[in-house]
Amino acid sequence: MIKSSLQILREYWNHSSFKPLQKEIIDAVLAGDDTFALLPTGGGKSICFQIPALIKEGICIVISPLIALMQDQVKNLQSKGIKAIALPSGIKYSELDTLLDNCLYGNYKFLYISPERLQQEIVQERLKQMNVNLIAVDEAHCISQWGNDFRPSYKRIAVLREIHPTVPIIALTASATPEVVTDIIGELDLFQPKVFRKSFFRTNLSYNVLKSTDKIYSIQQILDKHPGTSIIYVRNRKSAVELSSFLNERNVLSTFYHGGVDASQKTKRFHQWLNEEVRVMVATNAFGMGIDKPNVRTVIHYDIPESIESYFQEAGRAGRDGEKSYAFLLRSTNDSLRLHNQFIKVLPDIEQVKLVYRKLSNYFQISYGEGEQTSHEFDFNTFCRTYELNTLVTYNAIQFLDRCGVLRFIQKYKKKSSLYITTTGNHLLSYLDQNKNYEIVVKAILRMYGGIFDEEVSINIPLIASKINTAESEIISTLQKLMEADLLEFQHKNSDAEIIFLVPREDDRTINRITHHLKEQKNSKVKKVEAIISYTENDTSCKSKLLLSYFGEQDAGDCGICSYCLTKTNALKKYDLHQIQTNIVRLLQEKQLSSRSLIEQLDYPEHIVLEVLREMNKHQIIKINHSNNYQLA
């Protein structure tokens, strides 16, 4: 007996009802329609394709741009007893072959795959043999050149339409302007798609842009005024560490989260915040995926984000329980210039991209026409120093090459060396008596790291070097000599990333094929930065209304609770609005008047008169005639 979508929801997700639009989207997919789902962050997009895929016979192909996002969703499905598998870029051919066989013969319900992996012939051949029941394109805005996270490789997803022309496609995103929506539908060749949009309006979320000359003081004031759990977003790792430390010193329990924190610490800190052992999470935008804490009361942006899409998603993590919550964006005099310098000025031009690509190929000694699917440990800072390259421009160039499917740039961050002493303490000390030149290094390590005789321990070589005023190379050499003497096991990790070349080296020919993407990316980035700057500097419109307008909701009214609306309300309280209204009625009893004439004849500020006129018109006390004058209704 086939279970209903509600039964599946109860059985696997333990929910008794659907969120808005989920049921309608699921029904459209089950009816075989191509579908577009535009749901805000926290709207439950994944369920919209997971439930119909579980109901229908066969396997669902899910295209996802982020390895971490894939792994997270696969892990969640597996925890529910649902068979799911991921094929991110970077796995070996033999492993890929085995995993694809598992999908064919192992009764799997979900195959998560990166758009780059989809281009491989072996993958396409196996997909032809699979009984595919649905194709889900997650984070679909990546397919549009106007999208916030444009990835050219997403444009080749349409190959799935050729392989399985009758299988319905569902595209999902949490952030798309009307221009992006149109682009996605065209790129995926969706046939008469059913489009579902949930309004992005949040009745309980107050958006606030605050001018601040002392942002740390402003944060203190906000946290004092608004109790409860908070997220503070900062631009870089250093700010995350320093601000968290500052808050802890003032008895505001906090922790920090950024890309350089190792996986176990990320998990620990996330759960401390989730379980409210700490009140505040200070984080870079690395803190984004899988955050489902409903009672976040404040989200504070210490720095202006790079786009309205980013801001809207991050601010939207506040108040998912429906209770009154606040999003604060702190703005200072030089923020606009700083944002331009950080996101526009450091965008590489095509010659810089070509240079970085050639240098990478030379760095790893890859010959012309070779290198495809080769993997290399990569120390980014050493690479930049070797060729005297600007780090920010180089980083953006490598990121661009990653997005275009030329290579995969996997950032590992602070991959620590490890040490395990395999001999006894007495034997080690006896050896040091005979080899005094090793004594300082070993004794420093013994003082700094407990348990090193019992298990493998991560060690920080630069820290050890600083403690005993010795070169890092000497410490490494000492430990390698002791390993040769069978006294310990030592693994030295000196890379912070990995580079996987996805195509053969062809130098300029490789880059010339993606030149137009670079130009489009730069134009798009400039527009996004200008849009977020305009949002922060606009002091004449409702903040919620501005955000909704950006995403195509042009008929939204003032929210009444944002920084603009509250300022306007407080300003109105200073005046006798009833008296202003009485004076307007008296003047209009004599004759029709334009707003300019009324302002000239009334002894009140212009914005106050205009606001009273709007309210009177709204309540049909007055109306605007064909001559664009006001008259009594």
Does a structural domain hold residue 559?
A: no
Q: How much is the pLDDT for 128? A: 93
Residues sharing a CB contact under 8 Å with residue 15, sequence separation 6 or more, in sequence order: 9
pTM for the whole structure: 0.69
Q: How much is the pLDDT for 483? A: 87
Report which of 537, 528, 530 is spatially closest to residue 210, judged by C-alpha positions.
Answer: 537
Q: Which domain holds residue 622?
A: 575-632
Contact 87, 113 (CB under 8 A): yes
Q: How much is the pLDDT for 473? A: 78
Q: How much is the pLDDT for 205? A: 95
Report which of 195, 142, 172, 149 is spatially closest to residue 47, judged by C-alpha positions.
Answer: 172
Q: How much is the pLDDT for 494? A: 62
Q: How much is the pLDDT for 352? A: 94
Q: How much is the pLDDT for 89? A: 60
Euclidean distance between CA atoms 412 and 263, whole angstroms: 10
CATH number at residue 166: 3.40.50.300
CATH number at residue 627: 1.10.10.10
Does a structural domain hold residue 558?
A: no
pLDDT digits (tens, 9 = 90+) for 42-63: 678 899 999 999 999 999 999 9
List of the chain residues with pLDDT < 50: 414
DSSP 9: I
Q: How much is the pLDDT for 149? A: 63
Does a structural domain hold residue 370?
A: yes
61 and 153 together in one domain? yes
106 and 190 together in one domain? yes
477 and 512 together in one domain? no
Does a structural domain hold residue 176?
A: yes
136 and 18 together in one domain? yes
Does a structural domain hold residue 533?
A: no
DSSP 436: G
Q: How much is the pLDDT for 152? A: 67
> Of 143, 163, 197, which closes a domain?
197
Does a structural domain hold residue 598?
A: yes
Other beta carbons within 10 Å of 466 = 11
128 and 249 together in one domain? no
Q: How much is the pLDDT for 497? A: 81
Does a structural domain hold residue 468?
A: yes
Burial of residue 316 (CB within 10 Å: 0-12, 13-18, 19+) is: buried
pLDDT digits (tens, 9 = 90+) for 60-84: 999 987 776 788 889 889 999 999 9
Rounded to whole angstroms, what are the CA distances from 399 to 234, 394, 411? 21, 9, 11
60 and 80 together in one domain? yes
471 and 503 together in one domain? no
Alpha-carbon torsion angle 23, 311, 245, 261, nearest 10:
60
301 and 187 together in one domain? no
Q: How much is the pLDDT for 324? A: 95
Does a structural domain hold residue 187?
A: yes
581 and 610 together in one domain? yes
147 and 63 together in one domain? yes
140 and 284 together in one domain? no
Q: How much is the pLDDT for 416? A: 64
Q: Provide the number of structural domains found in the chain.
A: 5
363 and 504 together in one domain? yes
